[in-house]
Amino acid sequence: MFLKDRTALVTGSTSGIGLAYARALAAEGANVVINGFGDADAIERERAGIEKDFKVKARYSAANMMKPDEIAAMVAEAEKEFGAIDILVNNAGIQHVAPVEEFPIEKWDQIIAINLSSAFHATRAALPKMKAKGWGRIINTASAHAFVASPFKSAYVAAKHGIAGFTKTVALEVATNGITVNAIAPGYVWTPLVEKQIPDTMKARNMTKEQVINDVLLLAQPTKEFVTVEQVAALAVFLCTDAAKSITGTTLPMDGGWTAA
Ligand code: NAD
């Protein structure tokens, strides 16, 4: 329970990796603010489940990560209730798969806004209170696509490379403030985001579902296994420990060897 009396805000945490981060941080005693879209009853079950399972406070913000004013309001509300956000996890993300010349302009704008700019808006809003406390952890979810590309994912790859650069820059700016800033770069993790891109990839590459899983998704992952959300969340918890206080400005791969190739 080394995070007792800390507060974590995790964007995009109503499912997948984000929910695993929220639960893992709560398991160490942190109060959490979850955020994201989905069925209201299902979200309430997740929120109440965190409180019940870990005896912490869990709040939900419906802020849309495409909207800077809603992001600022989410941070302000969390600070009003908890004093400061000690751990900010910028995780919300979406995907769209299409050849660049057919890539819908509004999808490009959405992906850049949610996967990249929302991290800027949340960090910008949360940093002053973190600096005042002299302790903080900012953890951004990047991707193996922060290091390498795949065809038909121009917006996602651009946003994730951007996250790696943003992570380095902020880490340098706050290096003497007791705040570390890192990104985690998972390979393929089995979550709704991956499941949802299978039909588009089937269409773009004219493949069956099995072919997409084995010949596209896991083709790049030498272990031939999906990363699990629990593994990603465990790395985030480690980044919050004192042992990790000298790790800053990095984008840490957890990709079954993908970017070693
Ligand atoms: P997911 O679809 O399960 O979760 C995405 C979360 O973001 C959900 O809670 C969703 O409601 C939320 N979200 C989407 N749009 C939003 C918006 N406008 N405002 C607020 N919340 C919004 O996906 P996931 O796989 O858990 O992805 C989480 C992060 O991990 C993303 O940044 C993704 O790029 C990254 N990632 C995923 C994988 C993978 O293989 N699944 C690999 C590398 C990186």
pLDDT digits (tens, 9 = 90+) for 95-126: 999 999 999 999 999 999 999 999 999 999 99
Closest residue to atom 33 of ligand 1, CA basis: 93
Is 2 inside any structural domain? no
pLDDT at 232 over 80: yes
Same domain as 170, residue 138: yes
Active site residue 156: yes
Q: d(Cα 142, Cα 161) in Å, to the nearest integer?
A: 8
Amino acid at 250: T
pLDDT at 217: 86
For the entire predicted model, the pTM comes to 0.96
pLDDT of residue 193: 75
Going by pLDDT thresholds of 50, 70 and 90, the confidence category of residue 84 is: very high
**Ligand 1: which residue has its CA nearest to atom 32?**
93
The predicted pLDDT at position 11 comes to 99
Residue whose CA lies nearest to ligand 1 atom number 44: 143
Pocket probe mutation, ligand 1, options 34, 191, 196, 231, max atoms within 8 Å of Cβ = 191
Q: Give yes or no: residues 95 and 222 share one domain.
A: no
256 and 151 assigned to the same domain: yes
Query: What pLDDT was estimated at residue 192?
Result: 83
Report if residue 1 sits inside a domain.
Answer: no
Say if residue 68 is in the same domain as residue 133. yes
pLDDT range class, residue 196, cuts 50, 70, 90 = confident
Domain boundaries, position 214: 190-226
Q: Is the CB of 93 under 6 A from ligand 1?
A: yes
Could you read off the pLDDT of 141-185 as tens digits, one per residue? 999 999 999 999 999 999 999 999 999 999 999 999 999 999 999
Say whether both 170 and 220 belong to one domain: no
Same domain, residue pair 106 and 198:
no
Q: Judge if the beta carbon of residue 14 lies within 6 A of ligand 1.
A: yes
Ligand 1 centre distance from Cα of residue 227 (Å): 15
Co-location of 91 and 202 in the same domain = no
- Claim to verify: residue 124 and residue 211 sit in the same structural domain: no
Same domain as 106, residue 29 = yes
pLDDT band at 220 (very low <50, low <70, confident <90, very high): confident
Q: Distance between CA 49 and CA 51 in Å, rounded?
A: 5
Looking at the fold, whether 87 and 178 belong to one and the same domain comes out as: yes
- CATH for 157: 3.40.50.720
75 and 147 fall within a common domain: yes
Tally of domains in the chain: 2
